[in-house]
Structure 1
Amino acid sequence: MRQRTDGRTSFYDRLSENRIREEKRLEAERLAQEALDAVPVPERFHTNELSFIRPQGFKDKTFHVFTLTDIGPSPLSVVIGRTPVEADSDLETMSQMLLEDLKKHYLI
């Protein structure tokens, strides 16, 4: 078999190099897609009583209630609720959404 002296590779070498390059490109695309499809690590929640990882899809609707009495209706109650706020939401929109949610879940 004759060796080339002009520095060019054979047709079969170029085919093999192209195949290897294509396999590397496909593997890189596969790894990039796997990274995009990966389930995000859940956020850890801390309270005074416990710490847990919130299951994916669960929403935090924590309420803190401060009252003047231990039993029955209180002449004054302060309720602080956790609700995610969209960047473009205003107070009126958030209030209406909260009222609808309370009606739906607590039959106000």
Structure 2
Amino acid sequence: MSTNYYVSGPAIDGVDGGEGLHIGQSVIHRTFLLRAHPERGLTSLAAWLEFLNTPGHRIHAEHGAEVALAELEEIIRRRQDHQGRPLERRHRSSRSRPAHCVLDGEGYEFYTVDFS
């Protein structure tokens, strides 16, 4: 089971078919796939957290439930792979990382393609 997360607000309503801007996807409560939006400067966890903290922005899961920023940050930061390692260590080598996957300064993976 997976859950997609979106942000909506005055400057982003109507994006992604009205759902809002795709933040990423929690997969089986263990993995969080972050979505990069380079045109908005959203290519790091720090940039996303600052953006999400903007007054008027509302974070919600795909089923409509509102999610607090602190709760979403906890979900993202506690993500692990199937062996219990932090995911940011999984694709350290660019040879093993898909071309559409980039790492931010903290080592978090961001996907530059739509996967919602």
TM-score of the pair, normalised by structure 2:
0.23
Q: Which has the bigger relative contact order, CA under 8 A and spacing at least 6? A: 2
- Structure that is richer in helix per residue: 1
TM-score of the pair, normalised by structure 1:
0.24
Larger Rg computed on CA atoms: 1
